[in-house]
């Protein structure tokens, strides 16, 4: 005797269906992570130990703001975000 469980399977698929808003939130999170990585790279690479000009009180704040803005502008373009997004989507299916 064969049992037809297609109704139960279809019901489960509806309950666990992932909508596009989850993908958008995941993409936004992976872009934010890539932005964080890019900011850390910029902080290390643009460190000015021996500058020609003297240091003033706002120098560190200005450099941090500049690196933050640059990292947000560059995020999503290096491929880390897409790689992480694809990996997490595959883990979700498993």
Question: Is residue 12 domain-resident?
Answer: no
Can you give the residue range of the structural domain that contains 53? Answer: 23-93
Question: Is residue 51 domain-resident?
Answer: yes
Neighbours of 87 (CB within 10 A): 11
pLDDT at 66: 86
Number of domains the chain is built from: 1
Burial class (CB in 10 A: 0-12, 13-18, 19+), 38: buried
User: Which of 43-55 are b and which e, b meaning 16 or more Cβ less than 10 Å from the residue's Cβ?
Assistant: eeeeeeeeeeeee
Question: Is residue 48 domain-resident?
Answer: yes
Q: What is the pLDDT along the chain (94 residues), one digit of tens a residue?
A: 555 555 544 544 444 455 567 888 988 899 999 999 998 988 888 876 656 556 777 777 888 888 888 888 888 788 888 999 999 888 877 6
pLDDT at 19: 57
Question: Is residue 29 domain-resident?
Answer: yes
Question: Is residue 60 domain-resident?
Answer: yes
Question: Is residue 15 domain-resident?
Answer: no
Question: Is residue 18 domain-resident?
Answer: no
pLDDT at 20: 64
């Amino acid at each position: 005797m064969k049992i037809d469980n297609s109704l139960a399977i279809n019901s489960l698929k509806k309950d666990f269906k992932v909508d596009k808003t989850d993908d958008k939130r995941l993409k936004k999170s992976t872009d934010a992570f890539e932005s964080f990585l890019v900011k850390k790279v910029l902080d290390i690479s643009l460190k000015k130990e021996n500058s020609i000009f003297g240091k003033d009180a706002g120098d560190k704040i200005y450099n941090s703001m500049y690196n933050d803005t640059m990292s947000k502008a560059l995020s999503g373009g290096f491929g880390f975000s897409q790689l992480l997004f694809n990996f997490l989507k595959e883990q979700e299916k498993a």
